[in-house]
Amino acid sequence: MSHIAEARTERVTIPTLQRWKEERRRVAMTTAYDAVTARIADPIVDIVLVGDSVGNVCLGFDNTLPVSMAMMNHHLEAVARTRPHALLVADMPFLSFHLSADETLRNAGGFLQRGADAVKLEGGAKRAEMVRALVDCEIPVMGHLGLTPQSINVMGGFKVQGRNADDALRLLDDAHRLQEAGCFALVLEGIPAELAARATESLTIPTIGIGAGPSCSGQVLVFHDVLGLTVGHRPKFVRAYADGFQLLQEALSRWAADVRSGVFPGPRESYRLPEGLGETIASWAPT
Ligand code: KIV
């Protein structure tokens, strides 16, 4: 039996997500970085994120810090061309929302002009003013708290956050400050499950967890992690539903072997001349 969902006919919007929070309906979100990943993900998930994780997942960087607005725009445009029905969120990369309100609005507004429905940005209460400025300009914002990969240098690596009383209480306070500033949802990454549960029950907006336990309003995982396409270290919170890397390599090896043995291409993959033209080209000689 196939588990593949029927293609969506209705678009997921921000009011849809708010309604689902009230109905306690859980949300599935994944990343997409190009038209192929977007077409695979869109009929299945509720939110598609063009994440700045494109830097480490697709572009070969060690982390997300080198990702620029130009890179994000390039990948967002590819995803947006597929006209997804899922809510399309674009990630504000490092330094794209720190320098001034003008630059932040231009960068985020540019994402919406390229087809995003909303933007996501990392950080707590100190980002509240910028969130307010964006929301005032009709740009919906998803917040992102906890293990925020753009703060890797401050955190001293990819470490679970909110494990002592001060940090845990600060996170809860940050979550409420972002909600008051107008965020329509929050990603909670790399925090203890109990802390994510407390944030989720105390907020009116949905929370989307990644390494934040089962009590969030929804879950997000990087597309390549769910499908087993990432090589190297796999964080504890990832569950791969396929060994995509091996599956694809096996298929590619069969094709390469067929090329080398002459089995590919066969008659089905070849074009033929119209009747009679074979003799014409056979009798041709170079002059
Ligand atoms: O960039 C990204 O992919 C993300 C998600 C993992 C939440 O921020």
| Per-residue pLDDT at 15 | 98
b/e map 34-51, b = 16+ CB within 10 Å: beebbeebbeebbbbbbb
The gap from C-alpha 82 to its chain's centroid, in whole angstroms, comes to 15
* pLDDT for residue 1 is more than 60: no
Q: How far apart are CA 196 and CA 192, in angstroms?
A: 7
- Is 22 catalytic? The answer is no
Q: Whose CA is nearest to atom 2 of ligand 1?
A: 51
CA quadruple 229, 231, 237, 240: dihedral sign: positive
Q: Find the catalytic residue in 22, 189, 194, 275.
A: 189
33 Cα–ligand 1 center, Å:
11
In a domain, 269, yes or no: no
- Taking residues 11-26, report their average pLDDT: 97
* pLDDT tens readout for residues 235-282: 999 999 999 999 999 999 999 999 999 999 999 999 999 999 999 999
Atom of ligand 1 nearest to the CA of 221: 6
30 Cα–ligand 1 center, Å:
8
| Per-residue pLDDT at 116 | 98
In a domain, 66, yes or no: yes
162 Cα–ligand 1 center, Å:
19
Give residues (CB < 6 A) around ligand 1: 31, 49, 51-53, 91, 187, 210, 220, 222
* pLDDT tens readout for residues 52-108: 999 999 999 999 999 999 999 999 999 999 999 999 999 999 999 999 999 999 999
What is the total count of domains within the chain? 1
Atom of ligand 1 nearest to the CA of 91: 1
In a domain, 253, yes or no: no
209 Cα–ligand 1 center, Å:
10
Among 227, 274, 173, smallest CA distance to 40 is for 227
In a domain, 122, yes or no: yes
* pLDDT for residue 5 is more than 70: no
Angle at 60 between CA 58 and CA 66, to 5 degrees: 100
- Domain harbouring 44, CATH code: 3.20.20.60
Atom of ligand 1 nearest to the CA of 189: 7
Q: Whose CA is nearest to atom 8 of ligand 1?
A: 51
Instruction: Please provide the average confidence, as pLDDT, over all residues in the chain.
Output: 96
In a domain, 272, yes or no: no
In a domain, 8, yes or no: no
Query: Residue 2: pLDDT band by 50, 70, 90 thresholds?
Result: low
In a domain, 3, yes or no: no
In a domain, 194, yes or no: yes
Amino acid, res. 102: D
Are 104 and 191 in contact by the 8 Å Cβ rule? The answer is no
* pLDDT for residue 7 is more than 90: no
| Per-residue pLDDT at 35 | 98
| Per-residue pLDDT at 158 | 92
* pLDDT tens readout for residues 164-189: 999 999 999 999 999 999 999 999 99
Q: Could you tell me what percent of the chain has a pLDDT over 90?
A: 94
Given the structure tokens 């039996």, which residue do they identify? 1
* pLDDT tens readout for residues 101-128: 999 999 999 999 999 999 999 999 999 9
Among 81, 13, 29, smallest CA distance to 216 is for 29
Domain encompassing residue 94: 14-246
Any idea what DSSP says for residue 8? Answer: P
263 Cα–ligand 1 center, Å:
43
Q: Whose CA is nearest to atom 3 of ligand 1?
A: 51
